[in-house]
């Protein structure tokens, strides 16, 4: 399948692939010369790539797409870096849709994506290889990290998961130092 496509048609196509539990990759060459690749595996969005951006960081670029040409291949692209830490398929479709929350267009959500990387990196010093999983699950349970309050709640919750109180305090101090005043 191939042809012309707008962003809203891309979202509709992705919704159809999800509803039909399909596996494939949608490649779009946009009119402003970007390449978009969206991987779907058995009805779940598994990878987002737009130019150099991967995962959730590709969403603002994809949302800027007006139109382009597309092709659909029946196999999913490998999940290397393009699917790291993706929200659920339902959330992704909402973020990509025309009716997505305006705060995403204003960059407020994507501005906090780097925070997850910082928190997970610091947490790894205290929890080892389980840190990325703990980080993702805690952020998901908090409903994301799209505000300074949610970031603080996630950090506090992760600190409670550290058994040693002194280590937990060091984690809090180190995380706050790493994040600095960039959270307002």
Q: What are the domain boundaries of the chain? A: 2-100, 110-179
What crossing angle do the helices spanning 89-96 and 7-19 adopt, rounded to 10°? 160
Confidence class of residue 182 from pLDDT cuts 50, 70 and 90?
low
The whole-angstrom separation of Cα 76 and Cα 47 is: 9
pLDDT at residue number 83 = 52
Query: Each residue of 46-104: pLDDT tens digit?
Result: 999 988 888 888 888 888 888 999 999 998 776 554 455 677 888 888 888 855 444 44
| Per-residue burial over 43-52, b = 16 or more CB atoms within 10 Å of its CB, e = otherwise | ebbbbbbbee
Q: Is the pTM of this model over 0.85?
A: no
pLDDT (tens digit, 9 = 90+) per residue, 117-172? Answer: 788 888 988 988 888 888 888 988 888 887 788 888 999 999 999 989 999 999 99
∠ Cα 29 23 76 (to 5°): 55
3-state secondary structure (DSSP) of residue 63: helix
Instruction: Establish how many alpha carbons lie within 13 A of residue 145's alpha carbon, considering only the half-sphere containing its beta carbon.
Output: 26
If one compares 114 and 156, the residue with the highest pLDDT of the two is 156
pLDDT of residue 19: 95
């Amino acid at each position: 399948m191939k042809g012309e496509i707008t962003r809203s048609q891309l979202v509709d196509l992705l919704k159809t692939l999800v509803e039909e539990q399909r596996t494939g990759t949608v490649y779009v060459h946009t009119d402003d010369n970007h390449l978009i690749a969206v991987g779907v595996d058995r009805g779940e969005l598994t990878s987002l790539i737009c130019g150099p951006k991967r995962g959730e960081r590709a969403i603002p670029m994809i949302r800027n797409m007006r139109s382009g040409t597309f092709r659909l291949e029946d196999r999913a692209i490998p999940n290397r870096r393009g699917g790291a830490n993706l929200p659920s398929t339902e959330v992704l479709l909402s973020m990509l849709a025309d009716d997505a929350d305006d705060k995403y267009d204003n960059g407020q959500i994507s501005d906090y994506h780097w925070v997850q990387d910082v928190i997970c990196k610091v947490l790894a010093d205290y929890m080892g290889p389980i840190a990325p999983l703990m980080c993702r699950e805690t952020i998901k349970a908090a409903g994301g990290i799209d505000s300074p309050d949610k970031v603080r709640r996630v950090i506090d919750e992760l600190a409670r998961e550290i058994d040693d109180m002194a280590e937990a305090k060091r984690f809090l101090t180190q995380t706050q130092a790493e994040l600095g005043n960039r959270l307002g």
